[in-house]
Structure 1
Amino acid sequence: MQLLNCHLAIQTMAFLRVFLLLGFVSIGFGCPNGWLTHNNKCYHFSRETETWLGAAQMCAFMKGTLVEIETKDENYYLKAQASTTRHGDFWIALSDVEEENSWRWMISSTPAANETFTDWNPGQPNNSGGQECAALHRDFNYSWNDDDCRTNHYYICEKSNSDNTQFIG
């Protein structure tokens, strides 16, 4: 019996070596638990609320960043996911805190006006009462809305899926 087990182990090792040498095996760890995968990115939709700065800090704690929406496809995906959570508004990394009425993605410093699209709800941003941070707003079908950065909202973190994947071979 021991000889049979040894023989099977040798065959299994030989089989794995062939796949490794040919480069057919990749070990993808994917996104961490509690994160969703979409187009090589991982997204975390919080279940707790934070201020905008607190949300950014929580994302950093989870080795991610507050989400920057780069494409219409990504925006559509995030809105669809946010609507399934049955939560409220979700902070995103868009703010005019550095310069009034100059909305920038805070991680990349890219002006939102340079994007090929924006998804502001009509009449937004209105900077009412010093609103300097943006969120996906539930009452506006998760379109963008400016809000007071000190308000507690849910938040969306992102990180690259490639940070969590190792390829062998």
Structure 2
Amino acid sequence: MAPKFPKFQRLAGKEIPDLVSGFPSGFQDFPPGFRGFSGFSPRFPPFPGFPELLCRTLGSSRTCQAGWKSHGSSCYSFSMDSLGWASARNACADLGAHLVVVNSELEQMFLLENSDRSASYWLGASDGVKEGKWEWVTGEEPNFRFWDVWVTDPDKEHKDCGAIGPKGFWIYERCSHPHRWICEKSGNC
């Protein structure tokens, strides 16, 4: 007789075989050495909502997937590569996230503590729609600002994207300039 695992018997009203049958056909046919996407193994490729469903079902206290750092109710991923602002925004979207939106001094300090202080990181802030009117990628207006007010930049009107500079202050940058970036998304559980 097969052992019984009550927590695994049903997931969101589906028997496990039914849940697994929802994967695309041939989901085990990946090339040798393929590690999958976003930390998934090649046997189980990304399945929308599966990590959250599994997390809730198993009662896990873990809120962020491997490689992401937790702060408050959000998860953060700090890139090691450099891209322009729009490409960094798209890279975050591919992970189900957005460029970081800083809402408090505590969040700003968390970002500084977890970043490489010799690099700049893209924020999810831009004034590309109307010069001087900064908006987060979420459409909100920043209610917290940490701009480097001591720097005079005569080229500021050509710099429409915001970044956290190596000193920890927010800086104006040309959106095409490559920087590292920080993605933010809600915790899974």
Query: TM-score if structure 1 supplies the norm length?
Result: 0.73
| Residue number in structure 2 paired with 1:79 | 112
Larger relative strand fraction:
1
Shift of 1:29: 4.4
| Corresponding residue for residue 131 of structure 2 | 100
Larger radius of gyration: 1
| Shift in CA distance, 155/127, structure 1 to aligned 2, threshold 3 Å | farther
Q: 137, 155, 163: which one pairs with 1:128?
A: 155
Counterpart of 1:50 in structure 2 is 83
> Does 2:140 align with 1:110?
yes
| CA distance in structure 1 between the partners assigned to 2:177 and 2:114 by the alignment | 22
Q: Which has the higher helix share?
A: 1
* Count of equivalent residues: 140
Structure 2 runs not aligned, ≥5 long: 7-57
- What is the CA distance between 1:106 and its match in structure 2? 2.0
Q: What SS does structure 2 have at the residue aligned with 1:53?
A: helix
Higher relative contact order (CA 8 A, sep 6+): 1
Q: CA deviation at 1:126?
A: 4.2
**Residues 126 and 86 (structure 1 numbering): CA distance in 2 closer, same or farther, change over 3 Å?**
closer
* Superposed CA RMSD: 2.6
Q: Tell me if 1:153 matches 2:153.
A: no
| Contact 1:40/1:160 (<8 A) preserved | yes
